[in-house]
Amino acid sequence: MRNLEARRAKWMRVRLGILVCLLGVGFTRLVGAAWDLQVRRAPVLREEAEQQYTRQVEFSPRRGTIYDRNHNPLAVSVVSPSLAAGPRRLGTIRNLDVGALASRLAEALSLPESDVRARLTSRRGFAWIKRHMTPPEAARVVAIMREFHIRNRDGLETIEESRRWYPNRELAAHVVGFVGADGRGQEGLERSLDENLRGRMVAVQGLRDARGALVFADGLTPAMGQAGDDVTLTLDATIQHIVERELALTCQLFEARSGSVIVTDPRTGEVLALANYPTFNPNELATSEVDARRNRAIADRFEPGSTMKIFSVGGALDASVIRPDQQIDCHSGTYTIGNLTIHDSHPEQMLTPMQVLERSSNIGAAQIGLSLGAEGLERVYRRFGFGERTGLPLPGEARARFGERRWYEVEVATVAFGQGMGVTSIQLAQGLGAVANGGRLVHPLLVSRVTDATGALVQENTPDPGRPAMQTGVARMLADMLTSVTEAHGTGTDAAIAGVRVAGKTGTAQKAREHAHGYDDQRWVSSFIGFAPAERPRLVVTVVIDEPQITHAGGAVAAPLFHNVMEQSLRYLGALPSAQRAMDFPQGPAAPTALAARRRDVRAHGDAGVACSVPDLSRLSLREARRALAAVGLDAAFGGAGVVVRQDPPAGSPCEPAQAVRAWAEPGGGYVPVATPAPASTEMPR
């Protein structure tokens, strides 16, 4: 610059200074931008970058299996394919007719075409088309993808997912419950034990390749998830099957609205079967009715009727306010207290406590309740577990409260024979178990143990030692009294089992009007609760039938169902005496059925004197034989199970209207049908 003119040199120095300043500013901004990217915004940018080439996937582990007491699976997890779409990737396929593809997929998967088209053309990166496809559906989808030259992950992808499967369909559906599409339990044990069954989810980091497909790094696999615990129940699948079959037949025969049956072991409180009708198939929830999923055995409260006389009489004996041989004035079948008149269907003057149970006397039970008083009667019922939940690990159990205010004298009288209070079926089963086991109130046991995926014990539930409900001697005496109900003059003769002493009680209760005061004479609850053998009880069976239409007496509707369940269950357990297997006919006169009584009325008004002959029942199932006899106006007294092998009187014999024909059956021909006894009486024991 020394050779330059001063003016020019000065200008060059100015330009050089400007250039240096500009370079300095640029360098400073470059350093600042680098610092901003590398330091300040580094975490955010790193996360955004990782989102482009990585994906975190949460794997649901295998859900635990639910077993019955004999390790038969009731709920298992299986792998099923699901179809997913990547609409943005699908849009990059040249010459693809998305409308035609949507039409074909909708037809193959039985889905609305508009829904499928909307999902395929959305701007989302991922959308489910159908979860848990059936094998035929999956095969059709694969064929369609080949037809449209779509490779897996090129916009359509089949993904294997874990699906809950119930191999026995409806069996124990109300106990086991079901899970939702998200794999979480919705009802039953699937819901209450969801935390155990679901296991622990694990998040796995994967890498996306150039086509966007997910690849696991370092050999990571979904198997890293911790599988759910396995649960073993006290249920016996065979007894459960017997109960569900017999309950469905009875409800259909009597056109009942619903029903429930519970079978328990009174010694341990173990629930061997719990069934409701109507029922549902948890594999096909979409086609089931919401009302059919209701677990009525634990959720429905009802007035029990005469079954509560067991606890009224037993409590009074235990408190020594009455004696076993005491004569109770039943006022010849009509008794007025306050503004209420109580009637007996079998009028009597004086009855002992055993006869009160045998004849199901409302007046006798009312007198016994009054002798206990309001506080005494409430105390008795609470000792048997009424008024509180049983603690069964199933959602929705009703408390069935009572005694929230002091009962007046009229209420004490009616509550003593089961009117004006609410109970649940499981409460009745628990209360009667205390009578059967000698006086201990044992809480029901449903879940026996929980084990993890390796078989290690996580939790074990032992039978409840129970608390005293009544004296052992009184419990045994009460059991002996209850056997009179199923004998010659009792209200539950259809519950009797040949060679086995059966203790039990019938119940027939009117239901309260829905939109008015008082009781509805068209709506009834029929019940029978009992245990056998009476001297050493093995099983307690609780039967409740809601709103039967053909007839409604507990001895006609519920007692035959009790007989079928108890007899078949004892036979399965090997607890029937050898005399029962000898094919002897049941003792005692055959009880006329309600249908036969109607036929007698018809004959009395026009067909009297019409001769008939006994039909040939050989090789018929008991159900077919009953229909054959009903067609000619004859009653039936059946024993055994299977097909008829002999009858009395023999085929072709002349007969009188409503005459009883005895028949005995045994399994044969590979076909073992179910006996469905007809109603036993037109009387209405309360």
Domain residues of the chain, as ranges?
6-40, 57-232, 583-686
Q: At what angle do helices 362-383 and 309-318 cross, to 10 degrees?
A: 70
DSSP string across 105-116: HHHHHT--HHHH
Which band of pLDDT confidence, cut at 50, 70 and 90, is reported for residue 204? low
CATH superfamily of 57-232: Penicillin-binding protein 2a (Domain 2) (3.90.1310.10)
The string of pLDDT tens digits covering residues 564-576 is: 999 999 999 998 8
The string of pLDDT tens digits covering residues 479-524 is: 999 999 998 788 899 999 988 999 999 999 999 887 778 888 889 9
Average of per-residue pLDDT across 62-72: 93
- Distance, in Å, from the CA atom of 670 to the CA atom of 682, rounded to the nearest integer, reads 36
Q: Greater confidence, 647 or 181?
A: 647
Average of per-residue pLDDT across 419-438: 95
Which residues contact residue 26 at a Cβ distance below 8 angstroms, ignoring those fewer than 6 apart? none
Amino acid (1-letter code) at residue 570: L
- Distance, in Å, from the CA atom of 517 to the CA atom of 681, rounded to the nearest integer, reads 29
Q: Greater confidence, 41 or 190?
A: 190
The string of pLDDT tens digits covering residues 589-628 is: 333 344 344 334 433 433 333 357 888 888 776 767 877 8
Return the pLDDT at 59: 56
The string of pLDDT tens digits covering residues 471-485 is: 999 999 999 999 999
Which band of pLDDT confidence, cut at 50, 70 and 90, is reported for residue 219? very low
Return the half-sphere exposure (C-beta side, CA atoms, 13 A cut-off) of residue 383.
Answer: 21
- Distance, in Å, from the CA atom of 576 to the CA atom of 665, rounded to the nearest integer, reads 16
Tell me 167's DSSP state: T
Average of per-residue pLDDT across 11-24: 85
DSSP string across 559-623: HHHHHHHHHHHHHHHT-S-HHHHTTPPPPSPPPPPHHHHHHHHHIIIIITT--EEPPP-TT-BHH
Return the pLDDT at 582: 41
- Distance, in Å, from the CA atom of 112 to the CA atom of 431, rounded to the nearest integer, reads 53
Cite the active site residues.
306
Whether the per-residue pLDDT at 643 is higher than 60: the answer is yes
Closest CA to 487 of 327, 359, 578, 648: 359
Q: What is the pTM of this model?
A: 0.73
Identify the CATH number of the domain defined by range 583-686.
3.30.10.20
CA dihedral of residues 478, 480, 558, 623 (deg, nearest 10): 170
Return the pLDDT at 56: 56
Average of per-residue pLDDT across 260-276: 97
Return the pLDDT at 521: 84
Q: Are 468 and 440 in contact (CB under 8 A)?
A: yes
The string of pLDDT tens digits covering residues 436-477 is: 999 999 999 999 999 988 889 999 999 989 999 999 999 999
The string of pLDDT tens digits covering residues 136-162 is: 998 999 999 888 888 776 788 888 877
CA distances from 470 to 409, 442, 473, 503, 609 (A): 25, 12, 9, 17, 56
Which DSSP helix (H) or strand (E) runs through 246?
A: helix 237-253
Amino acid (1-letter code) at residue 558: A
- Distance, in Å, from the CA atom of 627 to the CA atom of 621, rounded to the nearest integer, reads 10
Percent with pLDDT over 90 in the chain: 48
- Distance, in Å, from the CA atom of 36 to the CA atom of 47, rounded to the nearest integer, reads 15
Residue 417 CB neighbours (<10 A): 29
Among 51-65, 253-267, 507-521, 611-625, top mean pLDDT goes to 253-267
Average of per-residue pLDDT across 671-680: 34
Whether the per-residue pLDDT at 673 is higher than 60: the answer is no
63 class by beta-carbon count within 10 Å (0-12 exposed, 13-18 middle, 19+ buried): buried
Least confident interval from 224-228, 317-321, 367-371, 416-420: 224-228
Return the pLDDT at 646: 83
Closest CA to 206 of 58, 414, 321, 77: 58
Average of per-residue pLDDT across 663-676: 45
> What is the DSSP pairing of strand 66-67 with strand 230-233?
parallel
